[in-house]
Structure 1
Amino acid sequence: MARPPALPTDKKVEIVLDILSGRTTAAQAARSVGVSGQAISNWKNKFIAAGSDGLETGTDQHARREQQLLEEISELKSALGDSYLQLRTMRATLRARATFNRPPSSRPYGAIPKAS
């Protein structure tokens, strides 16, 4: 027997609320949308445990996770940029010290070391 197409979250919420309010039974709801009574029971239990977020499809969860990962990538890029700037500053400082500490004959012509 072929599996029926997945229902959208908002339709599942509507069905569960109808069952919880007594407007319909789980068996009637299952017949009307072409799913098993066990599926309806699972939706109801998930809804009670987590509200409508518990009925989100895998793609909704993947989209949320993807957004979290994109935010983390952005933070890591920013941290990498900060680290790179610190490295450049440290290298420049070390080069300046190395130039300052060389004897005058090894300095480039006309170079006068800056006092720190």
Structure 2
Amino acid sequence: MPKAPDVVGGEPIESAYSNNEIRNKTVQRATNAADLAAGWPAPGDGETVWQQDTDELKIWTGTAWAVIATGSRYLPLSGGTMTGVIRGKDGEVGAPGYAFAGKANT
């Protein structure tokens, strides 16, 4: 699909992706836990949502929503350890809260 020259307000944007594929590639907002449950009854593995009332960034692990960051901790600071989802081989995900044992580059 060729690149659209400009986006015009109120006009549809053509996309090679379906609405679900776009939603699976972006961080969505849920107002609270009830909104999260109603809005994402069958989330895709790795789908990411920010829950507004608790200020939590969550990822779907395939079986449950896991908190990967809260408040100002959306981006990890450079340091000796960090918490969150650690990826190993393609498709292999460590449990939230896994402590990275490596040394940070300084």
**Which structure: greater strand fraction?**
2
TM-score (norm: length of structure 1)? 0.21
Q: Which has the larger radius of gyration?
A: 1
TM-score (norm: length of structure 2)? 0.22
**Which structure: greater helix fraction?**
1
**Greater relative CO (CA pairs within 8 A, separation 6+):** 1
